[in-house]
């Protein structure tokens, strides 16, 4: 069933995203008519590798993990995405099946937009096409940065870099504690950073022993941001 503005403000949500800003009412209405809500419970798979790609996804609420799954059950987490982010565009545009699997890390609300309406809007609106290219280019740059980190930075630098980036994404108000809430379990984040869970926990312990952080479950209190930044470099 198509999502309309009366559902939860889907069209307003689309307008808030860089890719869809500047679209006219008729274009937005067409996209809204080709959009469906998908609610996914934590731990549920959204799609598997090899499933046909019928469009792109936008995250309204929750967190989604994109990963590769080996036959023995081991996984390599590629991305952890949250509200406002999208996925599925790359294989959608080249008309291939999904090359990753997607799983909800928390109860999530997603929008799925049919690829046909995206293709039609790209053909008639060059500015929209450029914005879609911009989004894909930014994702490619992030993946290149990940490869650089995996190959040129040690595990401690990867963990401290993750903590600092997470802190910058949620800059605390003056006088408020500098806390980072881990976006997923330690095992998922370890896979994302290309290390084992045990190594990830050991690095957190070492940073804690050095007086740089304090760990309380998934909450990381940053005690010495300057020291952590020096550690990262």
Report the CATH number that the domain containing residue 136 is assigned in CATH: 2.60.120.10
Residue 218 C-beta-side C-alpha neighbours within 13 Å: 10
CATH number at residue 170: 1.10.10.10
Whether residue 43 is found in the same domain as residue 135: yes
> Which residue stretches of the chain have pLDDT < 70?
1-8, 170-177, 233
Quote the pLDDT of residue 172. Answer: 60
User: Distance (Å, rounded) from C-alpha 16 to C-alpha 101?
Assistant: 27
Quote the pLDDT of residue 153. Answer: 87
Quote the pLDDT of residue 3. Answer: 41
Whether residue 55 is found in the same domain as residue 170: no
**Domain total of the chain:** 2
Quote the pLDDT of residue 59. Answer: 97
Whether residue 32 is found in the same domain as residue 121: yes
pLDDT for 112-168, tens place per residue?
999 999 999 999 999 999 999 999 999 899 889 888 888 888 999 999 989 988 887
Out of 134, 151, 168, a domain closes at: 151
Whether residue 191 is found in the same domain as residue 133: no
Q: What is the DSSP letter of 115?
A: H
Out of 118, 151, 184, a domain closes at: 151
Structural domain of 199: 154-232
Strand order in the sheet with 86-87: 35-40, 108-114, 55-61, 86-87
HEC readout, 127-166:
HHHHHHHHHHHHHHHHHHHHHHHHHHCCHHHHHHHHHHHH
Quote the pLDDT of residue 70. Answer: 75
Quote the pLDDT of residue 8. Answer: 57
Per DSSP, the three-state class of 80 is strand
Quote the pLDDT of residue 149. Answer: 82
Nearest to 121 by CA among 55, 197, 64: 55
Q: Return the structure tokens found at 94.
A: 């080249």
Whether residue 38 is found in the same domain as residue 127: yes
Whether residue 166 is found in the same domain as residue 147: no
User: Distance (Å, rounded) from C-alpha 138 to C-alpha 8?
Assistant: 28
Nearest to 113 by CA among 41, 50, 58, 44: 58
Quote the pLDDT of residue 4. Answer: 41
Enumerate the β-bridge partners of residue 39.
109
Where b means 16+ CB within 10 Å and e means fewer, 40-71 reads beeeeebbeeeeebebbbbbbebbbbbbeeee
């Amino acid at each position: 069933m198509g999502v309309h503005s009366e559902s939860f403000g889907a069209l307003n949500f689309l307008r808030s995203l860089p890719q869809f800003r500047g679209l006219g009412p008729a274009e937005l209405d067409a996209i809204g008519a080709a959009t469906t809500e998908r609610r996914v419970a934590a731990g549920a798979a959204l799609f598997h590798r090899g499933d046909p790609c019928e469009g792109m996804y936008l995250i309204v609420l929750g967190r989604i993990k994109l990963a590769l799954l080996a036959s023995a059950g081991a996984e390599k987490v590629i991305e952890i995405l949250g509200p406002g982010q999208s996925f599925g565009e790359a294989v959608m545009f080249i008309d291939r099946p999904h090359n990753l699997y997607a799983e909800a890390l928390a109860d999530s609300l997603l929008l799925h937009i049919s690829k046909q309406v995206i293709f039609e809007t790209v053909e008639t609106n060059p500015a929209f096409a450029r914005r879609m290219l911009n989004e894909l280019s930014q994702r490619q740059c992030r993946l290149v940065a990940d490869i650089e980190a995996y190959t040129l930075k040690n595990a401690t630098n990867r963990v401290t870099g993750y903590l600092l980036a997470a802190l910058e994404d949620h800059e605390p108000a003056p006088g408020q504690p500098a806390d980072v809430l881990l976006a997923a379990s330690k095992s998922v984040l370890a896979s994302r950073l290309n290390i084992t869970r045990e190594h990830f926990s050991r690095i957190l312990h070492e940073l804690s022993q050095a007086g740089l952080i304090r760990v309380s479950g998934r909450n990381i209190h940053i005690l010495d941001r300057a020291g952590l930044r020096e550690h990262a470099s």
